Structure 1
Amino acid sequence: MTTHREPGGQPSGATYRNPVLNADWSDPDVVRVGDDFYLTASSFGRVPGLPLLHSRNLVDWTLVGHALDRLEPEETFAAPRHDCGVWAPSIRHHDDRFWIFWGDPDQGVFQVNAPGIRGPWTRPHLVKAGRGLIDPCPLWDDETGEAYLVHAWAKSRSGVKNRLTGHRMHPDGTSLLDEGKLIVDADRIPGWFTLEGPKLYRHDGWFWILAPAGGVETGWQGAFRSRDFFGPYEERIVLEQKDTDVNGPHQGGWVRTPSGEDWFLHFQQRGPYGRVVHLQPMRWDEEGWPVLGDEGAPVTEHRRPALPAQVPAAPAADDDFPGGRFGRQWQWTANPQDGWATQHSGDGLRLTCVRTADAHDLRRLPNVLTQRLPGLPSAAEVELRLDSEEPGARAGLAVLGDAFSWIGLQRGADGTVHLVHRFAEGVAERERDAGHPRPAPDGRARLRIEIGAGARCRFLADTGDGFRPSGPVFAATPWRWVGALLGLFALAPDGRSPAGAATFTRFRITAL
């Protein structure tokens, strides 16, 4: 497998440029253990969930695994639920273990833990049941031996938002010791709304809650402090857009380097690209409050953290699928079933043509293998061979969101294979042709999507006579909380007998 370097975060002398992760790593949180930094992010309804990224310099990150193999309950996530599942996790290291807490807005607060970042991770444990409980963060207070938990509320499930609830927590992280207390009510703070995403810390004798407000596209980062966990808290805005082009700079985590430098990683909402990750310098003013970025405004370029040099790196995107296995960058759109991808002795991803009654709407299908849309102009390319002899079997490369479009191969009733290009608007219930079908005499094609500015996608295919464009430009769209995705799939009409497979080889993403 080769590693594609995401644009952004490239070295420039002794500086870095934002975003350091130029793709949808939503709601990031970070922790340092020794000389290593680890980051996790929301994964919503995709599987595996809770991505785990590693860095030694806070600028260059690699994806090293996931903490959640499957979503539970299994039957609930047997079909796509793109805006449900894992919301805004927090990652911590305590008692020689890694801990990740997150909120499922329909079930409650969960945690998993492991002795090392690569696992083995425990199965999800429900710490607090309830609808609308989101964005939890634990704190083990080394000064007192007490443990605490803070969380926010989703109005869509609970009818409540803009407030934070605090609990005492059992030190083993399995349960809460009280019914909870409202510790920050942002309805009482003039101009504040949609307070969420709290991260809880202990510093300089204070309890600190770093929490965003104002909404993902236009909001700001707030800081709250109190001498007592249950309050009262005083607040201050510590990061906002000001005169920069970084809209809604907020929701993330604070981390301190071994030499004592402070840094803050947060997201920026970029529509179809999702929530990209920025790195901000952080210091403390004379009154003991954090100051993020350039006096509270996000930086575009800044001096690198004073950390050891690291080989430039980024989460993998390219894949040769050795032995039929796919890389860590890929996630299914729901809990997978055995047999969707078949291991074998050669290279190439062999996807079973899964029979389904929803063959004309990729948004409803659990067996779409996806990865994040790159944040700068890029081209995604893959080679496809349709091995299925089943009439109506199809496979292809897709851009998937509230609207979707795909290009690929389909076998006709007469046994011939055609290149097809289809799409569906956000309000459409089924796809329709975006370009005229054309023969693919060998049942093979090279597929290409060129992703330009504004995530405008141009589809091309080569069936033996070079790349030719197909159909109009398609504007990628996000789902409710999720950026657009690139996807690979293989399908067949509803039925009982096996429908064969399709083989994908040499998946590549290149900068344009």
Structure 2
Amino acid sequence: MCKKIVKGLFLLGIAVLYGSHGIHAQYKSDVWVADCGDGTYKNPVLHADYSDPDVCAVGDDFFMTASSFGCAPGLPILHSKDLVNWSIVNYALKKIEPAGFYSQPQHGKGVWAPSIRFHNGVYYIYWGDPDFGIFMVKAKDPFGKWDEPVLVKEGKGMIDPCPLWDDDGKLYLAHAWAGSRAKFNSVLTVFELNAEGTAPISDPVMVFDGNDGVNHTIEGAKFYKRNGYYYIFAPAGGVVTGWQVVLRSRHVYGPYEVKTVMAQGDTDINGPHQGGWVDASDGESWFLHFQDKGAYGRVVHLNPMKWINDWPVIGNDSDGDGCGEPVSRYRKPLAGKRFPVETPAESDEFNSRKLGLQWEWHANYQDVFGFTSDMGYMRLYGHILSADFKNFWEVPNLLLQKFPAEEFVATAKLKVSAKDDGQKSGLIVMGWDYAYLGVEKLGEKFVLGLTACKDAEQGSPEETAVLAVLEPSARYEAGLRPNYEREIYLRVKVEKNALCRFSYSLDGKTFTEAGKVFQARQGKWIGAKVGLFSVAPCGKERGWLDADWFHVEKAE
């Protein structure tokens, strides 16, 4: 075990530091690092699906959260010292509420467009669930346990909420509306909350109508106050082709002036919008936002921001018209200060009792999904499929992480255990379309197959190509029936345009390409993900998968 831990630390390039919050393991990705090492950074600062990001500054620390939809744990908490180098440090939601509803996959539902704020020593996150209402969760220590979430306002269609504590102590909440539930959209409303931030004390007031022929699909409100002006930062025009709007008023309920402050222009960064403004300790302003990159999800960009005549200008405004364009490379914030290079974790040795923070389930975790251990591996038990099983769109125990770059290789060392025929485990790339390498027990052998499914949400059937018949690595008596094991290495190489090439190895050295190239596709409001699965036929007991390690490395 000791040898394995040392080997893992060297493999991953981890530096272990001690700080006010205990041990913090710094991780540096092999596939995407935004810090160029020369005082500049490249965008995206996070080439991963952190949709609808929001950020706050507390002292010398920056904290970011993002939409997590129906994946659990939810509301990732990321930390940075310079807005460029980020690490995942926590989740604010252990389970998505209501917990019973989200015990099964609820694609595209759940946690939408959160906002994170710090007020009077407390961190607050508000988010909208379009089916249940506006929620809030808070904590005094963002690295520690967050309180249980509170349903602030029940109802359908309310999304993208953001609080504002005014100078007189009053608390307001701005939010948008989802047309899929409310049957109208493109408007922003504001209402007042009680002092605790847990309930409304006024009716909503419409402060902006985007049904003006210009700013359709306005949403994602972020509420601020500066120099006596109330500001609402909001994206308009849609996720893929939109732009960033800022509203300004001397009064909380308006009327608001409107101005477009960032658009794609001549760049290749489409739909640059939906994010948060933050000031660094040197007084400079910055804006974190997303870009939709299809299968790769909504990746995070950092742009400089300046104030001219009490209007923000985001990005590079070369023609001086007050509307900037996103930058692809720029000098880092806090010029002159140097901070360690780090990125969110990707590889995992599965040596900890806590699951790595890069991992999320496709529904709220249940004990029968599996366990971490002190034995050097993670155990994933088979999900019992329904009698009318169609495809993996319904499987909750998919253990997945985000695509971390345009190109990468993910390899897992696995041991499959099964008693019943049809028990299957393996490596999966999941989205609206998905593909996996699966090891399935049939008789006294295992069959390795490459399975693909197109348009999974529509209930489309899977198609499997058999690649090899494998002898078990071990067989032993286990109660009334023997248990069969097969050790195997499974790999997927992701190339540009999210083309995926699967391969396998029986010795970890020589890999055999497996079947056709698969074109990855995003999921419902989320990017494609990669990870592990285990399933069992209806009416059978659970087989399992022991994951020794999962490595994400640079593609050769």
- Using the TM superposition, give the Cα deviation of residue 103 of structure 1 relative to its aligned residue in structure 2, in angstroms: 0.1
Do 1:447 and 1:461's aligned partners in 2 also have CA atoms closer than 8 Å?
A: yes
Match of 1:326 in 2: 355
Match of 2:542 in 1: 499
Of 145, 150, 156, the match for 1:131:
156
Amino acid at match of 2:163: P
Partner-residue secondary structure (3-state), 1:90: strand
Per-residue Cα deviation, 1:158-187 (whole angstroms, up to 9, x for no partner): 011111000111121011111110011111
Of 20, 29, 42, the match for 1:17:
42
Partner-residue secondary structure (3-state), 1:77: helix
- Residue range with higher mean Cα deviation, 393-402 or 437-446: 437-446
Do 1:324 and 1:348's aligned partners in 2 also have CA atoms closer than 8 Å?
A: no
Match of 1:458 in 2: 501
Partner-residue secondary structure (3-state), 1:329: coil
Match of 1:234 in 2: 257
- Using the TM superposition, give the Cα deviation of residue 359 of structure 1 relative to its aligned residue in structure 2, in angstroms: 6.0
Matches for 1:317-466 after TM superposition, within 5 Å:
317-323=346-352, 325-357=354-386, 361-412=391-442, 414-426=443-455, 427=458, 429-442=460-473, 443-464=486-507, 466=510
- Using the TM superposition, give the Cα deviation of residue 378 of structure 1 relative to its aligned residue in structure 2, in angstroms: 0.4
Do 2:390 and 2:459's aligned partners in 1 also have CA atoms closer than 8 Å?
A: no
Matches for 1:52-451 after TM superposition, within 5 Å:
52-141=77-166, 143-188=167-212, 190-285=213-308, 287-295=309-317, 296-306=324-334, 308-323=337-352, 325-357=354-386, 361-412=391-442, 414-426=443-455, 427=458, 429-442=460-473, 443-451=486-494
Partner-residue secondary structure (3-state), 1:272: helix
Per-residue Cα deviation, 1:17-73 (whole angstroms, up to 9, x for no partner): 000000100000000001000000000000000000000010000000100010122
Separation in 2, partners of 1:196, 1:355: 40
Do 1:103 and 1:110's aligned partners in 2 also have CA atoms closer than 8 Å?
A: yes
- Using the TM superposition, give the Cα deviation of residue 408 of structure 1 relative to its aligned residue in structure 2, in angstroms: 2.7
Do 1:148 and 1:168's aligned partners in 2 also have CA atoms closer than 8 Å?
A: yes
Gaps of 5+ in 2: 1-7, 13-26, 318-323, 474-485
Separation in 2, partners of 1:206, 1:331: 40
Separation in 2, partners of 1:226, 1:10: 37
Do 1:8 and 1:19's aligned partners in 2 also have CA atoms closer than 8 Å?
A: no
Partner-residue secondary structure (3-state), 2:108: coil
Partner-residue secondary structure (3-state), 2:235: strand
Of 514, 519, 522, the match for 1:475:
519
Do 1:401 and 1:477's aligned partners in 2 also have CA atoms closer than 8 Å?
A: yes
Separation in 2, partners of 1:369, 1:359: 19
- Using the TM superposition, give the Cα deviation of residue 424 of structure 1 relative to its aligned residue in structure 2, in angstroms: 0.6
Separation in 2, partners of 1:343, 1:116: 25
Amino acid at match of 2:529: L
- Using the TM superposition, give the Cα deviation of residue 381 of structure 1 relative to its aligned residue in structure 2, in angstroms: 0.5
Do 2:244 and 2:262's aligned partners in 1 also have CA atoms closer than 8 Å?
A: yes
Amino acid at match of 2:180: S
Amino acid at match of 2:376: D
Separation in 2, partners of 1:132, 1:329: 30
- Using the TM superposition, give the Cα deviation of residue 345 of structure 1 relative to its aligned residue in structure 2, in angstroms: 3.0
- Using the TM superposition, give the Cα deviation of residue 440 of structure 1 relative to its aligned residue in structure 2, in angstroms: 4.8
Do 1:183 and 1:233's aligned partners in 2 also have CA atoms closer than 8 Å?
A: yes
Amino acid at match of 1:180: P
- Using the TM superposition, give the Cα deviation of residue 468 of structure 1 relative to its aligned residue in structure 2, in angstroms: 0.6
Do 1:324 and 1:347's aligned partners in 2 also have CA atoms closer than 8 Å?
A: no
Provide the TM-score with structure 1 as the length reference. Answer: 0.96
- Using the TM superposition, give the Cα deviation of residue 428 of structure 1 relative to its aligned residue in structure 2, in angstroms: 5.3
Separation in 2, partners of 1:233, 1:260: 26
Provide the TM-score with structure 2 as the length reference. Answer: 0.89
Amino acid at match of 2:411: E
Amino acid at match of 2:175: H
- Using the TM superposition, give the Cα deviation of residue 418 of structure 1 relative to its aligned residue in structure 2, in angstroms: 2.1
Amino acid at match of 1:510: E
Separation in 2, partners of 1:499, 1:378: 32
Amino acid at match of 2:490: L
Do 2:355 and 2:372's aligned partners in 1 also have CA atoms closer than 8 Å?
A: no
- Using the TM superposition, give the Cα deviation of residue 439 of structure 1 relative to its aligned residue in structure 2, in angstroms: 2.0
Aligned length: 507
Per-residue Cα deviation, 1:189-243 (whole angstroms, up to 9, x for no partner): x421100001000001100000000000000000100000000000100010000
1:34 and 2:34 correspond: no
Do 2:54 and 2:288's aligned partners in 1 also have CA atoms closer than 8 Å?
A: yes
Partner-residue secondary structure (3-state), 2:517: strand
Partner-residue secondary structure (3-state), 1:100: strand
- Cα RMSD between the aligned structures? 1.5
CA 299–323 in structure 1, closer or farther in 2 if over 3 Å, else same = closer
Separation in 1, partners of 2:138, 2:372: 30
- Using the TM superposition, give the Cα deviation of residue 323 of structure 1 relative to its aligned residue in structure 2, in angstroms: 4.8
Separation in 2, partners of 1:372, 1:326: 15
Amino acid at match of 2:528: A
Separation in 2, partners of 1:309, 1:240: 31
Amino acid at match of 1:283: K
Do 2:410 and 2:551's aligned partners in 1 also have CA atoms closer than 8 Å?
A: yes
Partner-residue secondary structure (3-state), 2:393: helix
Do 2:452 and 2:464's aligned partners in 1 also have CA atoms closer than 8 Å?
A: yes
Amino acid at match of 1:144: D
Partner-residue secondary structure (3-state), 1:217: coil
- Using the TM superposition, give the Cα deviation of residue 339 of structure 1 relative to its aligned residue in structure 2, in angstroms: 3.1
Partner-residue secondary structure (3-state), 1:402: coil
- Residue range with higher mean Cα deviation, 334-343 or 167-176: 334-343
Do 1:268 and 1:278's aligned partners in 2 also have CA atoms closer than 8 Å?
A: yes
Amino acid at match of 2:113: A
Separation in 1, partners of 2:307, 2:373: 56
